């Protein structure tokens, strides 16, 4: 057993963990190093991004919404190969947090599915891998998402926040974390409230691909030329999801009808309307927060869209800024979150609680796979 492995077993000192995240936007794999003891953020390290090729993205897209079968197996093969390639570039990591690729998410019915074989990745990389983060939470009555809130609590402490604030992640789906950094721990009552606000980039990306052959509305250029269709926006906000009390979560395709709602609009008007729907879901969601946040820090790809950011600023009563305003990396925050969560899982600490996923009690999800099975028994 090496020194780093012994440190992790005893729960002493910092661990250099690598987090790898492949989100519902299907753009690629983010990978980032975090140094942590499972409580505080002690430092950030190197990060990288490996984009999916068009062929790889097509394989993943074909498997979306499926639970088994050849398409799911093919998606798993792509995910394993790409993550092994990324891991090979980080030889100094003590531990890996491997999220995998979400293909389907129905926590109240069939469960949640992230493809990716953590045991195979551990064997290929020669390092312990924590994976399957969501299943235990769902089995105990939780939504299984979002899982970044415990890391957001650590980030709030790291930046020295004194008042409640919100972290907003705008990936394929939008999710919001309200944080009270004065609480003693993330699982403490009143420390966190988290939920998915609604669709974010996924419907807009799907529209851009179908109509323009482009992966995204880069810099909001198309939406900036369009007009929001108020009727479609009203129908969107009438969805029962927005009245549900959080915690709550969504699958990437739960609002697939959004694209149909704008089907008869021009490309620019459709893009503007889908962007407005994303912002409106966030504005609706803020009403669920225990108290008004002092500010909202935005992470994920959506923060690069100036049209979306302006809509958020117009609809919210607090300052809205990308997380870079406080020295964090909005492109890597999700990957960093799974590095942090991996250490918590390894040390038997909770990774979700009633306020973040609705789980019955604080739970530490995740499976730990070791490159040498004998090491797990030491």
Contact at 8 Å (CB) between 253 and 297? no
Q: What's the confidence (pLDDT) of residue 374? A: 60
pTM: 0.92
pLDDT at 375: 55
| Consecutive 10-residue averages of pLDDT for the chain (378 residues) | 43 90 89 98 98 96 95 97 97 96 87 95 96 94 93 98 97 94 97 95 92 94 98 94 91 81 96 97 96 97 96 98 98 96 97 96 94 61
Structural domains of the chain ordered from first start: 3-145+332-376 (3.30.420.40), 160-326 (3.30.420.40)
DSSP annotation of 242: G
- What is the C-alpha separation between 148 and 153, in angstroms, rounded? 9
CA distance 258 to 247: 23
Phi–psi pair at 321, nearest 5 degrees = -150, 150
Which residue, chain included where needed, has tokens 């803020």?
286
Closest CA relative to residue 20, chosen from 147, 131, 103: 131
Place of tokens 């930046």: 159
Contact predicate 313/324, CB 8 Å: no
Distance, CA of 98 to CA of 292 (rounded, Å): 34
Helix (H) or strand (E) segment spanning residue 235: helix 230-237
- Could you tell me if 180 and 293 are in contact, meaning their C-beta atoms sit under 8 angstroms apart? no
Q: Are 206 and 270 in contact (CB under 8 A)?
A: no
């Amino acid at each position: 057993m090496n020194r780093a492995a012994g440190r992790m077993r005893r729960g002493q000192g910092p661990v250099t963990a690598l987090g790898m995240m492949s989100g519902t936007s299907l753009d690629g794999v983010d990978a980032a190093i975090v140094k942590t003891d499972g409580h505080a953020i002690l430092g950030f390290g190197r990060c990288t991004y490996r984009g999916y090729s068009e062929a790889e993205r097509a394989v993943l897209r074909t498997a979306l919404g499926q639970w088994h079968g050849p398409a799911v197996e093919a998606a798993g093969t792509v995910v394993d190969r790409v993550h092994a390639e990324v891991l090979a570039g980080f030889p100094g990591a003590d531990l890996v947090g491997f999220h995998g690729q979400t293909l389907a998410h129905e926590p109240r019915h069939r469960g949640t599915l992230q493809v990716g074989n953590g045991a195979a990745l551990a064997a290929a990389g020669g390092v312990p891998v924590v994976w399957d983060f969501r299943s235990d939470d769902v089995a105990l009555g939780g939504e299984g998402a979002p899982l970044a809130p415990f890391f957001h609590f650590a980030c709030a402490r790291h930046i020295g926040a004194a008042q409640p604030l919100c972290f907003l992640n705008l990936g394929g789906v939008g999710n919001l974390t309200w944080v009270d950094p004065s609480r003693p721990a993330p699982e403490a009552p009143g420390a966190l409230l988290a939920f998915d606000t609604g669709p974010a980039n996924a419907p807009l990306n799907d529209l851009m691909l179908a109509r323009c052959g482009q992966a995204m509305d880069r810099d909001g250029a198309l939406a900036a030329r369009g007009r929001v269709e108020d009727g479609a926006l009203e129908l969107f906000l009438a969805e029962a999801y927005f009245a549900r009390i959080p915690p709550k979560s969504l699958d990437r395709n739960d609002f697939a009808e959004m694209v149909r709602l704008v089907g008869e609009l021009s490309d620019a008007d459709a893009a503007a309307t889908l962007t407005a729907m994303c912002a409106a879901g966030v504005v609706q969601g803020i009403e669920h927060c225990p108290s008004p946040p002092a500010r909202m820090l935005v992470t994920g790809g959506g923060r690069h869209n100036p049209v979306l950011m302006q809509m958020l600023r117009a609809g919210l009563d607090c300052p809205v800024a990308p997380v870079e305003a406080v020295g964090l990396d909005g492109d890597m925050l999700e990957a960093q979150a799974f590095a942090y969560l991996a250490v918590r899982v390894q040390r038997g600490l909770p990774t979700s609680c009633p306020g973040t996923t609705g789980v019955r009690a604080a739970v530490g999800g995740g499976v730990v796979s070791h490159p040498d099975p004998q090491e797990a028994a030491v």
